[in-house]
């Protein structure tokens, strides 16, 4: 992290805000990398390709994100949309990994 990194409540100018946003984006990417690692693990563990897509689990993950966002007073419906795209992208990635592992 940059030495100039400050939490939002400590920022006093736009330079600090931008550094904070950029630092947070890198941290988010690290978390996404880990999340997609779990998709690779799922592809390795699941023996049946037909169980990769789990609509009940998808709904649960999106609902959890929506509720978490509401609790944080964030735009919960938009975050639910983002999570919907994240889950669909994760499913597609897992299917690709499932096929690659067994090619």
66 is in an annotated binding site: no
Domains of the chain listed by start with CATH number: 8-101 (1.20.59.10)
pLDDT at residue 2 is higher than 70: no
pLDDT at residue 3 is higher than 90: no
35 is in an annotated binding site: yes
6 is in an annotated binding site: no
Rg (CA), the chain: 17
Q: Extract the tokens encoding 27.
A: 């941290």
* Predicted local distance difference test score (pLDDT) of residue 69: 98
CA angle 57, 64, 86 (to 5 degrees): 65
pTM equals 0.90
Compute the average pLDDT of residues 20-40.
98
pLDDT at residue 1 is higher than 50: no
Compute the average pLDDT of residues 75-103.
97
């Amino acid at each position: 992290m940059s030495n100039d990194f400050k939490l939002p409540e400590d920022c006093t100018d736009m330079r600090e805000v931008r550094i904070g946003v950029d630092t947070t984006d890198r941290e988010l990417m690290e978390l996404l990398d880990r999340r997609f690692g779990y998709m690779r693990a799922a592809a390795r563990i699941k023996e049946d390709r037909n169980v990769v897509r789990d609509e009940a689990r998808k709904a649960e993950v999106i609902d959890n994100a929506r509720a978490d966002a509401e609790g944080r007073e964030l735009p919960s419906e938009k975050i639910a949309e983002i999570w919907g795209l994240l889950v669909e992208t994760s499913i597609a990635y897992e299917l690709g990994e499932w096929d690659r592992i067994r090619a």
